[in-house]
Amino acid sequence: MLNRSASLLLLLVTLAVSAFAQQTTTPAPPAAAPAPQPAPPRTHLKVGQPAPEFTLTDTEGKEVKLSDFKGKKNVVLAFYVLAFTGG
């Protein structure tokens, strides 16, 4: 799909954490009403704004900055949390 644009770069940021980390061993009181699920956060960023700079490490240990691609490539930045689960 992305082969169409040679100038396009896809960056995948994995933010996976163990799904088991959120489990608790303490059962909820039976009479308690289920807590309402908080709405997932929505980004404060808007289309047309500058993308915040970042410096992150790739799989080879090399630092990658968003500004590395400025003036060179369009970037697709995918935040892919829970990369190791089937979710």
Partner 1 sequence: MDSSPANRRFAEDIGVKFPLLSDWKRKAVKDYGVYNEATGYGTRATFVVDKDGIIKHIEEGRTAVDPTGAYQACNLFEKKKAN
d(CA 52, CA 10): 16
- Give, as one character, the DSSP assignment of residue 81: -
**Nearer Cβ to partner 1 (21/31):** 21
**87: its two tokens:** 């979710």
Contact between 14 and partner 1 (CB under 8 A)?
A: yes
Contact between 16 and partner 1 (CB under 8 A)?
A: yes
Q: Compute the radius of gyration of the chain from its Cα atoms.
A: 19
What would the x/- binding string for partner 1 be over residues 64 to 83, using CB under 8 A? x-xx-xxxxxxxxxxxxxxx
Contact between 42 and partner 1 (CB under 8 A)?
A: yes
> Which residues, in sequence order, are bridge partners of residue 64?
56
Contact between 85 and partner 1 (CB under 8 A)?
A: no
Contact between 86 and partner 1 (CB under 8 A)?
A: no
Please report how close the Cβ of residue 67 comes to partner 1 at its closest, in angstroms: 7
Check: CB of residue 9 under 8 Å from CB of residue 58: no
